């Protein structure tokens, strides 16, 4: 590490930090960064970090796809062959020039590596229709097959040749980041050949060479990290021009109060604001700019759902079908009456009042409200405790009502919305029957995401999105999606409908399929939608470009 970087690290870790320098951004967040590997990162802050260092062929500005390392693409009429023209004059952080071979290697690697909870697995499921590498899939998923799927042509263009049309292809490609092939191979990563292909199929890359020495084409390069801090420096050779802010520091600060004080004192430029109650404490404060309603590109592309895990992967739970007042069985939510009861016991009006202060965007289904496939006639389950009681009396053949249960629920530190959701569930469920209990605890986002993807959580409030309905609905309900272990949904009829919707060409032909899916999942009560919060935030008053940053997630859009 050079002297300047060392001084920067020390100057910002003292107990009495000065106001941030003009060329430096300090962003305080409530969670540690868990992943620096672009094929692994799935959680919000991990993805935020990856997007500063790495770039894909296209960038998703929440539904609007902009050329990044590609300058354009063409597609065959059947949608199976897509040809990308690559940008020239792009360099990696190690100084090497990006070529088509790097793009070819990177996309092949993304489709090859990654355990079932990785970003690579989600991309693989979307592009190739491969959920997990079962023994049967391994027989047909060969290096020759992968090489024919992704390859450079004689003109130096990257060509993807698929077995079927993938409507969400550009969305998937926007999450597949380009890395330097020679540097990775030299560091012991996949060789890019058939020689070690088998050893890298589905391999966990959470501790890959890229986590130790990140190298991409993004506007910022990695400097250092420790459990409470991650430091970037502007990349002087960036093809898009040097960013205005030369240094970026992400600081993990658990306390909401501490983050509020930091932005008031000038020790932070951006802070994670958990809820509007916290935001209210910053209104009118000198040196602070409050954003009450940020641009809605993000909000219009996501759905916020409360989902029920039907196969809880937690040894502390009871065996399937076994009931007790002080616990729940692992298949607790596999009973449709339990799911319907919980959905009917949730008071959306209280959620909007207490969590969103009335500033919410109404959702009526499992798709974002702007989705072309949504059905405006759908109505989610209405709040009604009598309906909830009737469903509980039917659950587990009538035994649950007399036996009772204790459901563990976890809220996320620094996220007020999850606290309100858990509080409403606890209050209303326990009011129905004195033998019903909801035990609420708190955990940090990074550890809870591991529990979520490992299938250990019971009730799962989550935000999910995508430009195409297949991305959203397959993620939430598919047995081959990244959330399949987290939610345990195994529904053959639903999976057939999802595959039919994905493989059908044209919005007009696909729309009735997705409306059938939306009606079906509503009847099954696999989860229920929440109103989406309109964007809000708080920054130092001298920070510029925050609204654009909110659309792009790129620190390079910020300045002072």
- Are residues 416 and 388 both part of a single domain? yes
Measured CA to CA, the distance from residue 126 to residue 120 in angstroms comes to 10
Task: Please check whether residue 377 lies inside any domain of the structure.
Answer: yes
CATH number of the structural domain spanning residue 277? 3.40.190.10
What predicted TM-score, i.e. pTM, was given to this entire model?
0.75
At 122 the pLDDT is: 84
Residue 396 counted as domain residue: yes
Among 173, 204, 235, which residue terminates a domain?
204
Q: At residue 2, does pLDDT exceed 60?
A: no
- Position 171 in a domain: yes
Query: Same domain for 65 and 25?
Result: no
Domain co-membership, 105 together with 232: no
- Percent of the chain past pLDDT 90, that is, above it, reads 66
CA distance 213 to 211: 6
Q: Looking at residues 23-44, what average pLDDT do you find?
A: 90
- Residues 390 and 459 grouped into a single domain: yes
Same-domain status, 71 and 122: yes
* Widest CA span in the chain: 72
Q: Is the pLDDT confidence value at 275 over 90?
A: no
Is residue 312's pLDDT more than 50?
Answer: yes
Q: Name, in order, each residue with C-beta under 8 angstroms of 479's C-beta and a sequence gap of 6 or more.
A: 131, 489, 490, 491, 495
Residues 458 and 487 in one domain: yes
Residue 326 sits in the same domain as residue 467? yes
- Based on the domain organization, do 376 and 259 belong to the same domain? no
Is the model more confident about 449 or about 496?
Answer: 496
pLDDT of amino acid 3: 29
Q: Are residues 346 and 388 in the same domain?
A: yes
Q: Show the beta-strand stretches assigned E in 242-349.
A: 247-252, 270-271, 288-291, 302-308
Of 126 and 169, the structure prediction assigns the larger pLDDT to: 169
Phi then psi for 511, rounded to 5 degrees? -55, -50
Mean pLDDT in the chain?
89
Number of domains in the chain: 3
* Statement to judge: residues 280 and 390 lie in one domain: no
Please check whether residues 398 and 482 belong to one and the same domain: yes
497-to-132, 477, 491, 492 alpha-carbon distances in Å: 19, 11, 10, 9
Range of the domain at 468: 299-533
Q: Whose CA is closest to 556, among 86, 233, 103, 172? A: 233
Phi, psi of 126, deg, nearest 5: -70, -45
CATH code: domain of residue 126 = 3.90.76.10
Co-location of 361 and 495 in the same domain: yes
Helical axes 416-432 vs 385-394, angle rounded to 10° = 70
State the average pLDDT over residues 205-211.
92
| Residue with the larger pLDDT of the pair 126 and 253 | 253
Residue 27 tokens read as 């962003």
Domain assignment present for residue 404? The answer is yes
d(CA 69, CA 508): 32
| Sign of the alpha-carbon torsion through 11, 17, 22, 27 | positive
Position 48 in a domain? no
In a domain, 367, yes or no: yes
> Distances in Å between the alpha carbon of 153 and those of 110, 148, 150, 161, 315?
20, 11, 10, 12, 51
CATH code, domain with 494: 3.10.105.10
Contacts of 97 (CB under 8 A, 6+ apart): 90, 91
Residue 73 within any structural domain of the chain: yes
- For the stretch 38-81, pLDDT in tens is 999 887 789 999 999 999 999 987 667 899 999 999 999 888 99
* 214 falls within a domain: no
Q: How would residue 11 be classed by pLDDT, with cut points 50, 70 and 90?
A: very low
More confident call, 380 vs 74: 74
pLDDT tens-digit map of 402-453? 999 999 988 876 566 778 888 999 999 999 999 999 999 887 766 777 788 8
Q: How confident is the model at residue 290 (pLDDT cuts 50, 70, 90)?
A: very high
- Cβ neighbour number for residue 396 with a 10 Å cutoff: 21
With a cut of 90, say whether residue 357 has pLDDT above it.
no
């Amino acid at each position: 590490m050079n002297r300047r970087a060392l001084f920067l690290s020390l100057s910002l870790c003292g107990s009495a930090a000065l106001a941030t320098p003009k060329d430096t951004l300090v962003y305080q967040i409530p969670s540690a960064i868990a992943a620096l590997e672009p094929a692994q990162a799935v959680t919000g802050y991990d993805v935020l970090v990856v997007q500063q260092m790495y770039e894909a062929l296209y960038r998703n500005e929440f539904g609007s796809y902009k050329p990044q390392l590609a300058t354009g693409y063409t597609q065959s009429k059947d949608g199976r062959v897509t040809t990308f023209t690559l940008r020239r004059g792009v360099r990696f952080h190690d100084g090497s020039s990006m070529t088509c071979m790097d793009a070819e290697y990177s996309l092949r690697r993304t489709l090859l590596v990654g355990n079932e909870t990785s970003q690579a697995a989600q991309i693989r499921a979307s592009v190739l229709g491969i959920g997990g590498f079962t023994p049967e899939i391994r027989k047909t998923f060969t290096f020759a097959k992968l090489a024919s799927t992704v390859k450079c042509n004689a003109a130096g263009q990257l060509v993807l040749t698929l077995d079927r049309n993938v409507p969400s292809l550009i969305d998937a490609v926007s999450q597949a980041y380009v890395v330097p092939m020679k540097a990775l191979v030299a560091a012991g990563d996949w060789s890019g050949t058939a020689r070690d292909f088998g050893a890298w199929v589905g391999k966990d890359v959470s501790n890959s060479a890229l986590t130790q020495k990140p190298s991409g084409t993004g506007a910022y390069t990695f400097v250092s990290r420790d459990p409470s801090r991650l430091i970037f420096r502007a990349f002087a050779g960036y093809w898009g021009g040097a960013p205005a802010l030369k240094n970026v520091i992400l600081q993990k600060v658990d306390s909401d109060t501490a983050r509020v004080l930091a932005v008031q004192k000038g020790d932070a430029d951006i802070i994670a604001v958990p809820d509007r109650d916290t935001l209210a404490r910053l209104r009118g404060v000198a040196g602070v700019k409050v954003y009450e309603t940020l641009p809605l590109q993000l909000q219009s592309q996501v759905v916020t759902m409360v989902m029920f895990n039907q196969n809880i992967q937690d040894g502390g739970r009871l065996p399937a079908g076994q009931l007790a007042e002080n616990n729940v069985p692992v298949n607790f939510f596999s009973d449709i009456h339990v799911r319907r009861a919980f959905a009917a016991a949730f008071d959306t009006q209280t959620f909007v009042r207490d969590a969103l202060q009335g500033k919410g965007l109404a959702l009526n289904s499992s798709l974002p409200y702007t989705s072309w496939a949504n059905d405006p006639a759908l109505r989610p389950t209405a709040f009604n405790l009598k309906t909830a009681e009737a469903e509980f009396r039917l659950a587990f053949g009538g035994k649950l009502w007399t036996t009772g249960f204790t459901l563990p629920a976890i809220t996320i530190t620094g996220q007020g919305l999850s606290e309100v959701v858990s509080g409403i569930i606890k209050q209303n469920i326990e009011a129905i029957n004195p033998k019903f209990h909801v035990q609420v605890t708190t955990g940090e986002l990074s550890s809870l995401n591991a529990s979520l993807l490992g299938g250990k959580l019971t009730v799962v409030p989550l935000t999910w999105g995508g430009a195409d309905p297949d991305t959203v609905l397959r993620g939430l309900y598919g047995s081959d999606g990244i959330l399949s272990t987290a939610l345990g949904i195994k529904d053959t009829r639903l999976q057939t409908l999802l595959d039919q919707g994905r493989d059908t060409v044209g919005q007009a032909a696909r729309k009735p399929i997705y409306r059938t899916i939306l009606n079906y999942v509503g009847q099954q009560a696999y989860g229920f939608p929440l109103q989406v919060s309109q964007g809000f935030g708080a920054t130092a008053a001298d920070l510029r470009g925050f609204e654009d940053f909110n659309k792009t997630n790129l620190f390079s859009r910020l300045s002072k």
